[in-house]
Amino acid sequence: MDPRPTPSSMCMPRRRALFGASALVLLMAVIAPFAAGAQQSESEARADRDRIRAERADAAAELDAARAADAELLTALNAITIAVTAQQEQLGAVQRSIDEARAREADAAAEIARLDADATLLEERLTRLAIQGFVSSSDETTSPLIDGDFSTSLRQQGLLASIGGDATSVLEEVRILRDDAEVLRAEASAAAAEAAELEGRLAGLTAELEQVQAVQAELRAEMAARVSDWESVVADLDAEDAELTSLINSLASRGTGPTPKPGEASVSGFQWPLNAPISSGFGYRVHPIFGTRRLHKGIDQGASTGTAIAAAKGGTVLSAGWQNGYGNTVVIDHGSGITTLYAHQSSLAVSAGQSVSRGEVIGYVGSTGNSTGPHLHFEIRSNGTAIDPVPYLP
């Protein structure tokens, strides 16, 4: 016998079938990252990560939430939430690229306008130079401020001052300005095309995100309903435990002897009720799905349905029958305020008031009451209060 506890618990409310076809797909998607052992480049690793996330999300979307078990539902919800986060990050990146492309387009448009204005100014100067060939004017020796804001006028005055007064140099400067403007127009057009393409991609990603978020909302709603169900079950279990404690206290014989402690002679009077490993130990534990801490008031031993259950110690049967969440239950009084409890039995072999010896069969393993599978829930209580059974067992 190996009495060491394992992480799983068998004392949770019965749920539907644990794994369906979609759940197996989801499970494979979840464990896939751990199967790859080869070294990858960063880009390959990122691509694999994105693929795996997509596969997880697809599997979660195909899951029938109404028929999924609690753990399966939580795994699906986590997978879809990761997918939603990744999709939102991708949307943000695309939007930033669109903003950058539109900014480049706007900058190019502003520069084009500036170059066109300068080219127009020089073309006007060419016209005046041509007229000077026929009419002499002393006004050409100075350049008046150009219409527009003051900074633009200063820039254009500087442009006129930087080139010679001959038509050839002015024509060359106009050609350069016009060429620069054409280059910028091409850049602006490319930026606009890139932004338009990205906006189309953004629309597609947004539609995909809305679909994934709809699945996420469905899974969250189902999970909220499950939480509500569990809260109701916990309340029922608390009430049942209080009733059972009251029953034990009212029925059990009370002695004046102290509660047995590990290592004292009275401990040796107990034996294991089953020759089976412990699947869940005594003590506070975090609920595997909802993260709440509750006291598990006994130990669970997993065994197949119909396995004989032995009395851990001789005594008198206080009760033998249905105890709501505990299912078919036997409670035995051992004297000095010490009782043992054997829950979830498929059928009982003793009745209230009967004397039993240590090792005598008192019932058979089952999955009655709030149980996910066949096992024995075994408790030792001192004056009605549950204590850890393991120190009292061989």
Asked whether residue 180 falls in the same domain as residue 148, the answer is yes
Report yes or no on 275 lying in a domain.
yes
Nearest to 206 by CA among 330, 307, 84: 84
Asked whether residue 173 falls in the same domain as residue 260, the answer is no
Residue where a domain stops, chosen among 234, 251, 268: 251
Range of the domain at 67: 15-251
Give SS3 for 127. helix
Report yes or no on 281 lying in a domain.
yes
Residue 114 has pLDDT above 60, yes or no: yes
198-257: pLDDT as tens digits? 888 888 888 888 888 888 888 888 877 777 776 666 666 667 676 676 666 666 554 433
More confident residue, 213 or 5: 213
Asked whether residue 222 falls in the same domain as residue 297, the answer is no
Asked whether residue 327 falls in the same domain as residue 180, the answer is no
Report yes or no on 3 lying in a domain.
no
At residue 306 the predicted structure's pLDDT band, cuts being 50, 70 and 90, is very high
Residue 186 has pLDDT above 80, yes or no: yes
Share of the chain above pLDDT 70, in %: 61
Report yes or no on 303 lying in a domain.
yes
Number of domains in the chain: 2
Residue 80 has pLDDT above 60, yes or no: yes
Residue where a domain stops, chosen among 251, 282, 298: 251
Helix axes 70-132, 21-31, angle to 10 degrees: 60
Report yes or no on 9 lying in a domain.
no
Asked whether residue 334 falls in the same domain as residue 368, the answer is yes
Give me the sign of the Cα torsion angle 289, 290, 293, 294: negative
At residue 379 the predicted structure's pLDDT band, cuts being 50, 70 and 90, is very high
Asked whether residue 142 falls in the same domain as residue 290, the answer is no
Asked whether residue 63 falls in the same domain as residue 27, the answer is yes
